[in-house]
């Protein structure tokens, strides 16, 4: 492959089945992912993890901490700082209940997979360190879904800091995929005093890397990524600081990006609107690579 674009071998057959009407699209599950940034002397770096090769979805690909929305996080009015739920509902294009659950998912997944918590004891503070046996036991309980994130925040007496997040973009997994997600991408800065840890059961490696370096690794075919990951990395290269990226987030377009596939004869053309670099033309004899 010329670059690191993630392209499963089964896609051509599934696209043809969708075009023929023999494949029923799976309803996408709502999800959130966070591009966690920290400043260095020269440029911001972003926290990325490499998904284990054994993972059924995007195995071996580099991604950000993220995962599905937990329905339990929409039924408890948690302590909340920053823009109101109504503001987030308008920004994300959902109702207030779903807005809380999506924002909770973003903060929860960052805690689950990186050990970083965007919450504090008061509306203007952030937890300084999440290491220690007690914190780790709670993190594992949240990750195992034995404890909802809303319950965790209430138990700890913490305020969710929604003002530390910026909604960046939204991508929906193509209709022909067997696992589909409607994912909101957020940007955030690493809170002072906290450190990332490789605590994800889904990753075999984590790195802090300059967005430009990660994009170059993709272009050389050295790093495998899904289209939304490389697209957002290219967007992040425009910012000199984490604060600059956060300040730009409110002006970002959240119109969902959904791949489109059309069948012309026996050739499939696959496109992502607004992202011409991902266009693929797949002949009958072509097979994908993973």
- The pLDDT value recorded for residue 169 is 98
Query: Range with the lowest mean pLDDT among 37-46, 163-172, 174-183, 265-274?
Result: 265-274
Q: Which tens digits make up the pLDDT trace of 116-148?
A: 999 999 999 999 888 877 899 999 999 899 999
Angle at 65 between CA 59 and CA 67, to 5 degrees: 80
Q: What is the pTM of this model?
A: 0.91
Dist CA 239 CA 16 (whole Å): 40
Name the residue ranges covered by the structural domains of the chain: 24-194+201-252
Dist CA 259 CA 127 (whole Å): 39
- The pLDDT value recorded for residue 31 is 96
Q: Which tens digits make up the pLDDT trace of 25-56?
A: 899 999 999 999 999 998 999 999 998 665 55
State which CATH number among 3.30.1640.10, 3.40.50.880, 3.90.79.10, 3.10.150.10 fits the domain covering 24-194+201-252. Answer: 3.90.79.10
Dist CA 151 CA 215 (whole Å): 38
């Amino acid at each position: 492959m010329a670059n690191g674009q993630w392209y499963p071998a089964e896609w051509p057959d599934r696209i043809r089945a969708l075009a023929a009407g023999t494949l029923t699209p799976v309803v996408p599950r709502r999800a959130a992912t966070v591009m966690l940034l920290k400043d260095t002397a020269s440029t911001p770096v972003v926290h990325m993890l490499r998904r284990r090769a054994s993972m059924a979805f995007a195995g071996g690909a580099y991604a950000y901490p993220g995962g599905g929305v937990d329905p339990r996080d929409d039924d408890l009015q948690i302590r909340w700082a920053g823009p109101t739920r109504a503001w987030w509902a308008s920004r994300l294009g959902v109702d207030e209940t779903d807005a809380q659950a999506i924002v909770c998912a973003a903060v929860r997944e960052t805690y689950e997979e990186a050990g970083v918590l965007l919450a504090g004891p008061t509306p203007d503070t952030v937890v300084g360190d999440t290491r220690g046996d007690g914190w780790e036991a709670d993190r594992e309980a949240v990750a195992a879904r034995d404890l909802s994130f809303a319950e965790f925040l209430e138990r700890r007496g913490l305020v969710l800091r929604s003002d530390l997040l910026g909604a960046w973009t939204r991508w929906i997994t193509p209709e022909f995929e067997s696992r589909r997600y409607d994912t909101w991408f957020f940007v955030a800065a690493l809170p002072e005093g906290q450190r990332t840890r490789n605590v994800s059961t889904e990753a075999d490696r984590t790195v802090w890397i300059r967005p430009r370096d990660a994009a170059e690794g993709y272009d050389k075919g050295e790093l495998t990524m899904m289209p939304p990951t490389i697209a957002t990395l290219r967007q992040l290269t425009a910012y000199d600081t984490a604060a600059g990226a956060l300040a730009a987030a409110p002006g970002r377009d959240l119109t969902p990006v959904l791949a489109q596939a059309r069948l012309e004869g026996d050739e499939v053309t696959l496109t992502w609107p607004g992202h011409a670099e991902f266009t693929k033309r797949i002949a009958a004899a072509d097979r994908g690579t993973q």
